[in-house]
Structure 1
Amino acid sequence: MRRARRFLLLPALLAAACAFAAPKADEPQRFAIIGHSFIAGGEDKLQEAIAATSDASLSFVVLTGIKAASETCADKLYQRRRDLIDDAKRPMIVAPAGSDWTDCKNSAGRSDAIERLARLRELFFAEPRSMGAKKIPLTRQSASPRFRSYAENAHWEVGKVLYSTVNLPSNNNHYVSAAGRNSEYEDRLVATRFWLNRLLAIAKSDHMDAIVLFSEGDIKPFPEPAGLRALLPRAASGHDGFAEPRKLVLAMARKYGGKVLLVDAAGLPKGAKPAIEWKGNVGHLSVGPGVLEVGVATEGGPTFTIKDAATD
């Protein structure tokens, strides 16, 4: 399986070789996550967040969303954000946020979510590599003919850790309480199930030490959150759009045995700082509206440490 993937990715790997040298399997590594740092400051704040993640020692940067819900969904803004992200010094991987597409409406005031998601896929997820001045190769779910629409889901490896983005937007996973079939949500759920099973197979066959999943939405993997996180409101009564993804992720973790770290852009209680909460082999980290660096040491078993990278 791994040999086949390497053959398919050979051109991208060769193109990236001169621009990026990944840490060896037993070397420490660092990556960064940009939460919704730009919500209160628009494009200027996003530029500051990207500048704060320009350290050459960072293996990559994950950006959870490209715009605030209050900003326009126009192609012009999408293209401007693409250019901004592509100018970043480090490899940039985008995990789409609900504010990027689920809240968009057309001129008649009707939902334009599906069309806007399709446009995002064209602009941000069309290539089998990251954005940014330095590129790293990515394997996108769209490489599978059955799921060729789901290019936003991507995986990559650094050392002995498997990383992946999963499109799980924060507004209840875009579950729409309306009559008839909730087609976008249901179809994406099928794609998510396939994707998580694929990640599990890769992690086991390649003997990876850990899996790290990035999404905008918090699937709330623990029934009773600890510490300050317990102060956050739980899902409202009604259908929980994250119930099935949560079940799938926890089942994957049980079958895998290695560490599974879930990273999302959910908000934090006032005064709280990001922290990883572990239960068994499952870890949960909400970044909030900030920039966070994560160190990864795999010798003797994977260990994750976090550090704020303030942009103000």
Structure 2
Amino acid sequence: MKKLFLTALFALAASAAAAPFKFVALGDMPYKLPDDYARFEALIADVNKLNPAFTIHVGDIKSGSTPCSDENFQKVKDEFGLFTGPLIYTPGDNEWTDCHREKAGKFDPLERLNKIRELFFRGQGNSSFGKKPLTLTRQDKLIENSRWAQDGVIFGTLHVVGSNNGMERNSASVGEYFTRNAANVEWIKATFAEAKEKNAPAVVMAFQADLFYGAPMLLTDLGLRDTLTTLAAEAKAYGKPVLLIQGDSHTLIIDHPLTEAGANTALGQTAASPVLRNVTRLQVMGEADVGAVEVTVDASTPGVFAFRPIYTGK
């Protein structure tokens, strides 16, 4: 009788661990300020009604031509506090790399990067945003990079942004890029190593930059190359489902663009490098298209991930 009870208990625990769950992904909002604050807050209210396990914001909390002011940063941080559940945020290029633009306030991008880290990350410790925060593992070298697990699935964020990943402006920017890039590569490898060690059914990586936007990316955007090739190598070795969540280009896309060599299939390079069918890319909508994507994670299904767009009032 005791043996039967223990067997049933273990079966129940395994069933609970494999139960599907849902989270929400969004980014590139609020974009047009201050007009989009109300729209973003309405979307947050709709997300809260869904009661997801957590929400991921993949950066660009303002447009590239909106002032990179402390006031604008603080306003969005306050809005992050409106999420009922955990909100995990990773920065975008509009928060710092593009802040040298005249309309953005002609700030020093590296000074704005430090401000983003101070305001959004150093004060948070290991906690996410939201009224019911999640405890995260933070990377020592890049406090904005985080990792966590949900029902066995491993999640991670990377500070990889558009505008060639902040590489090009001057020697100080190049130096910052190389430091951050090395840390990002380490974080990718560590995330997949944890997934293998724990026999995770899937891995999710979230970041801002569109790694697949146009040709010939690997030659022109060297700031994104290491991220792309490292993700490709690790995803291939892992072999199980991988979801890459990104923003940057403002159009909802769900596809399989990553190849074994880390090249974009849209460029006609699949003959030389096969598509990694275990890797799905979710590019969230954004800018004027204020919406989000509800992702269902069910490890008992072959693809693991299913997607449903969310638009305010619909």
Q: Same fold judged by TM-score > 0.5?
A: yes
Range 174-183 or range 60-69, more displaced: 174-183
- Tell me what 1:14 maps to: none
Q: 1:56 to 1:306 in 2, by over 3 A?
A: closer
For 1:49 and 1:82, locate their aligned partners in 2 and report how far apart those are by CA, in whole Å.
Answer: 15
The answer on whether the counterparts of 2:90 and 2:144 sit within 8 Å (CA) in structure 1 is yes
Residue type of the alignment partner of 1:282: V
- CA displacement at 1:160 relative to structure 2: 1.6
Summarize the alignment of residues 224-263 of structure 1 with structure 2, pairs less than 5 Å apart.
233-234=214-215, 238-263=220-245
Q: Distance in 1 between matches of 2:68 and 2:131?
A: 25
Aligned residue number for residue 40 of structure 2? 46
The residue number in structure 2 matching 1:119 is 115
What TM-score do the two structures reach when normalised by structure 2?
A: 0.78
Would you say 1:192 and 2:184 are equivalent positions?
Answer: yes
Separation (CA, whole Å) in 2 of partners of 1:295 and 1:239: 33
Structure 1 residue 44 displacement after superposition = 2.0
Alignment-derived partner of residue 283 in structure 2: 286
Does the 8 Å contact 1:37/1:45 carry over to 2?
no
For 2:185, give the aligned amino acid. R
> 1:268-288 CA deviation, whole Å, 9 max, x = no partner?
66xxx5324373221111112
Distance of 1:268 and 1:94 partners within structure 2: 17
Tell me the percent identity.
28
- Gaps of at least 5 residues in structure 2 are 1-14, 258-275
Q: Name the CA distance, whole Å, in 1 between partners of 2:114 and 2:256.
A: 35
**Paired AA for residue 59 in structure 1:** A
* Cα deviation digits, residues 91-147 of structure 1 (max 9, x gap): 10111111111111399x7651111111111221222011100111100102xxxx1
- In structure 2, the CA distance between the partners of 1:92 and 1:235, relative to structure 1 (3 Å rule), is farther
User: 2:128 corresponds to which residue?
Assistant: 130
**Alpha-carbon distance, 1:240 to partner:** 3.0
Q: 1:91 aligned to 65, 83, 86, which one? A: 86
Contact 2:65 2:101 in 1 (8 A): no
Is 1:298–2:302 an aligned residue pair?
A: no
Inter-CA distance 179–95: structure 2 relative to 1 (3 Å threshold): closer
Shift of 1:38: 2.4
Aligned equivalents of 2:36 and 2:138: distance in 1?
29
What SS does structure 2 have at the residue aligned with 1:132? coil
**Following the alignment from structure 1 to structure 2, what is the Cα–Cα distance between the partners of residues 85 and 240?**
32
CA shift in 2, pair 1:239/1:169, >3 Å: closer
Q: What number of residue pairs does the alignment pair up? A: 269
- Contact kept, 8 Å, 2:25 with 2:55, in 1: the verdict is yes
Distance 1:181 1:218, change over 3 A: closer
In structure 2, do the counterparts of structure 1 residues 33 and 300 end up closer, same or farther at CA, with 3 Å as the change threshold?
Answer: closer
Q: Is the 2:90–2:157 Cα contact (8 Å) retained in structure 1?
A: yes
Contact 1:292–1:309, Cα closer than 8 Å, also in 2: yes
| Structure-2 separation of matches of 1:125 and 1:158 | 21
Distance 1:243 1:176, change over 3 A: same
Distance 1:78 1:46, change over 3 A: same
The residue type paired with residue 93 of structure 1 is I
Which residue of the partner structure matches residue 58 of structure 1? 52
Counterpart of 1:299 in 2: which secondary structure? Answer: coil
Any unmatched runs of 5+ in structure 1? Answer: 1-22, 221-231
Question: Which is worse superposed, 87-96 or 300-309?
Answer: 300-309
Pairing 1:88-237 to 2, within 5 Å after superposition: 88-105=83-100, 112-126=108-122, 127-142=125-140, 147=141, 150-176=142-168, 178=170, 182-220=174-212, 233-234=214-215
Distance 1:64 1:179, change over 3 A: closer
Query: 2:74 & 2:248 partners in 1: Cα distance?
Result: 26
